[in-house]
């Protein structure tokens, strides 16, 4: 009878260990930490702060307006952290259209498959107002914990 109890205890421990291993693999595949660099998201995020980012949209929800996202930068290993202002098909208000957009061109609508982002610190942020929208393919993920 004691042998069966030890076997059950090991089986329970093995199941917990297997679950922990599966969770670790899942977490490593769909979540990453990124360090904030610069002042463009102050006061929400400060330089040096680490954020948890995920692209498991089925779990955390699709990218929506006002979400904070991480985008690939131009250089390898460089990231941009900005707030979503508009998604493909949505109109950008006149105060935040790209600097090259002229009023005689009419409303500025974000092209499908792209995202328009702005930093929370408007005065120093270099974002879609300067560079235009970013392709959704450049989105590394959505910030889930900061």
Predicted local confidence at residue 10, as pLDDT: 58
Give residue 61's region: left, alpha or beta (phi > 0; psi -120 to 50).
Answer: left
54 noted as active-site residue:
no
Does residue 4 surpass a pLDDT of 60? no
Please provide the average confidence, as pLDDT, over all residues in the chain: 89
The one catalytic residue among 4, 6, 40, 107: 40
Every domain of the chain and the residues it spans: 32-145
Choose, from 54, 82, 125, 142, the residue flagged as catalytic: 82
Q: What percent of the chain has pLDDT over 90?
A: 67
Asked if 61 and 141 touch (Cβ cutoff 8 Å), the reply is no
Would the pLDDT of 57 be above 70? Answer: yes
Does domain 32-145 fall into CATH 3.80.30.20? no
Beta strand spans in 1-119 (E): 31-35, 50-54, 68-72, 79-87, 91-92, 108-109, 114-118
Residue 6's pLDDT band (cuts 50, 70, 90): low
Summarize pLDDT for 15-36 with one digit per residue, the tens.
788 888 888 888 788 889 999 9
- Active-site annotation holds for 40: yes
- State the residue for tokens 């692209």: 55
Lowest mean pLDDT, pick from 6-10, 72-76, 78-82, 87-91: 6-10
Indicate the pTM of the whole model: 0.81
pLDDT in tens, 96-145: 999 999 999 999 999 999 999 999 999 999 999 999 999 999 999 999 98
């Amino acid at each position: 009878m004691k042998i069966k109890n030890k076997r059950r205890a090991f089986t329970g421990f093995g199941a917990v260990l297997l679950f922990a291993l599966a969770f670790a693999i899942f977490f490593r595949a769909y979540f990453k930490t990124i360090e904030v660099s610069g002042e463009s998201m102050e006061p929400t995020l400060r330089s040096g702060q680490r954020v948890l980012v995920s692209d498991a949209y089925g779990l955390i929800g699709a990218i929506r307006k006002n979400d904070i996202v991480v985008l690939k930068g131009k250089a390898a290993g460089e990231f941009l952290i900005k707030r979503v202002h508009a998604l493909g098909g949505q109109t950008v208000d006149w105060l935040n259209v790209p600097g090259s957009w002229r009023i005689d061109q009419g409303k500025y609508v974000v092209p499908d498959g792209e995202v328009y982002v702005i930093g929370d610190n408007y005065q120093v942020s270099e974002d879609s107002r300067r560079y235009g929208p970013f392709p959704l393919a450049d989105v590394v993920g959505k910030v889930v914990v900061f």
